[in-house]
Structure 1
Amino acid sequence: MAFSTQDNDEVLSEINVTPLVDVMLVLLVVFIVTAPLLTNSIPINLPKTEAVAPVENKEPLVVSIDAGGQWFVNKDAIAPELLQGNLEAAKRGNPDLRVQLQADDGANYGQVAKAMASIEKAGITKLAVITAR
């Protein structure tokens, strides 16, 4: 320890951040502990009503391409050049048509790109590309 014999009446202008860090860490711990408790829903007993018909959920149309390059629409084999016409007919029957595209890992990327182009040309805007986890 070094002691100075001079009188130094200068004001110490440094900020001690240790208490600030302590307070911030306590607030962080409080937030981490309380955040999961806020996500719980309030238990409510809903009133009973007469049965109504559920909204009809139409299944999406599934376009598949296997490793051999064969194309399928809902498990029915189809020629690649007929896909667009088939999708256009399905869209006329259901304007809100959803399509799921699934291709085998070994499928040619060019085939997948052609399928996506045919789906777009058919005017379908809701496309999901299905992959494995």
Structure 2
Amino acid sequence: MGMNLGSSSGSNGDPDVVVDVNTTPLIDVMLVLLVMLIITIPIQTHAVKLDMPSADQPPNDAPPPPAVDLEIDFDGTVLWNGTPMDRGTLDANFRREGEAGDNQSEFHIRPNKLVEYKYVAAVLASAQRHGVTKIGLVGNEQFMQ
């Protein structure tokens, strides 16, 4: 702290009034708030929740059904194991596979590099709507360039 001894602005000899804001309490309050914020932020865990099979289930000795190759051509044509399908037949096949439950076939979807996404999305939505859960996209290496 300092004293103002010399210069007086008025003729009556009163010292100048200092009108600066004392920021020390403001900084103290801000530091306390910062520490409280750091303490109260929950620690984020980067965990992926997986539904793992339980160990008490008996192993399934039945051979799995053969995988179904679904190719989606550049114009939206869907080929089921090489056979062209229309939307109605595709939905009927998905419905049949969805009703199979745990014994449903795996679906390997191979979209053409030039196909529009709406055709692929329509096939995936149809499969999901009918309860098909074993779906995989294959041939992704063609999209890496």
TM-score, normalised to structure 1's length? 0.52
Equivalent positions of 1:1-133 (< 5 A) are 56-93=63-100, 95-97=102-104, 98-133=106-141
Match of 1:112, SS state, is helix
Moved over 4 A (4+): none
Contact 1:61 1:99 in 2 (8 A): yes
Shift of 1:55: 5.0
Q: d(CA) in 2 for partners of 1:85 and 1:91?
A: 10
Q: d(CA) in 2 for partners of 1:57 and 1:90?
A: 13
Shift of 1:132: 4.0
Identity %, equivalent residues? 17
User: What's the Cα RMSD here?
Assistant: 2.0
Shift of 1:93: 4.7
Q: d(CA) in 1 for partners of 2:114 and 2:74?
A: 5
Larger radius of gyration: 2
Count of residues in correspondence between the two structures: 80
